[in-house]
Structure 1
Amino acid sequence: MVAETKQAKKSSFVLKKSMNRCSLLVITIALCALETYAMRKQGVAVRGQLVCGSSPSNHTRVRIVDIDTGPDPDDTLDEKFTDENGRFELNGSTRELTDIDPVLYIWHDCLDGLTPCQRKITLTIPKKFIHNGDPKPEQWVDIGILNLQGAFESEGRECIH
Structure 2
Amino acid sequence: MPRFALLLMAMMLGACSPGDCAQPESIEPRPAGSLTSGDRAALRALDKAYAKAWLVPDAAAREQALMALFAEDAVVYPGHGTSPIDGKQRLRAFWFAEEGQPAAVEFIEHDTLAIEGSIALAAITGHSRIAFFSRGTRVAQEGHYIIHARPDDQGYWKIERMMWNARAPE
Return the TM-score normalized by structure 1.
0.34
Using CA pairs below 8 Å that are at least 6 residues apart, which structure has the higher relative contact order?
Answer: 1
Q: Which has the larger radius of gyration?
A: 1
TM-score (norm 2): 0.33
More strand per residue:
1
